[in-house]
Amino acid sequence: MECTALTGITPEVIKDLRQGKARTLELHSTHNIITLNGVEPGMSIFLTSVNSEDLAIGDQGIVADVIGITITMKRLIEYSPGAVYEERERMSARIKIKFCCNSTVKTVTQDTMFSPVLVDVVKCCTYHAG
């Protein structure tokens, strides 16, 4: 299964998602925002705590289904004593996702630093008797 990858996600967030409830994440890292640029609700994404530079075959993570996504630009103005102020803009993404399954990376593709991280993953299914 090929999907985009969000990297550097804290293990606590991944553990929380494994509980099965839908969660909204707010992301500020540039590489993850670039990756989310082409993602739409209904698609699946791969999440891992491994950094994008270190992502390799065999790394573990989860696959989650995208419920909603918004990418916004925020303007920040900081005032200093006197007449000096600094204006900055910061892009952020909010994504609502729900856990689908555990997975392992088969292949990793990232053409340039400004292109999304794409992975081919193997879904790891777990069956419970009961």
Give the pLDDT confidence of 21-49 residue by residue, as tens digits: 899 999 999 999 999 988 999 999 999 99
Whether 129 maps to a domain, the answer reads no
Instruction: Classify residue 82: in a domain, yes or no.
Output: yes
Q: Indicate the pLDDT class of residue 4, thresholds 50, 70 and 90.
A: very high
CA-CA distance, 28 to 75, in Å (whole number)?
14
- For residue 105, is it within any domain? yes
Number of structural domains the chain divides into: 1
Output the domain CATH number for residue 14: 2.30.130
> Where do the DSSP E strands lie in 7-128?
23-27, 44-47, 60-79, 85-109, 118-124
Per the structure, the complete domain to which residue 37 belongs is given by 2-124
Rounded to two decimals, what is the model's pTM? 0.84
Q: For residue 130, what pLDDT band results from cuts at 50, 70 and 90?
A: low
Residue 130 lies in a domain: no
66 assigned to some structural domain: yes
**pLDDT per position as a tens digit, 50-106:** 998 899 999 999 999 999 999 999 887 877 777 777 788 889 999 999 999 999 999
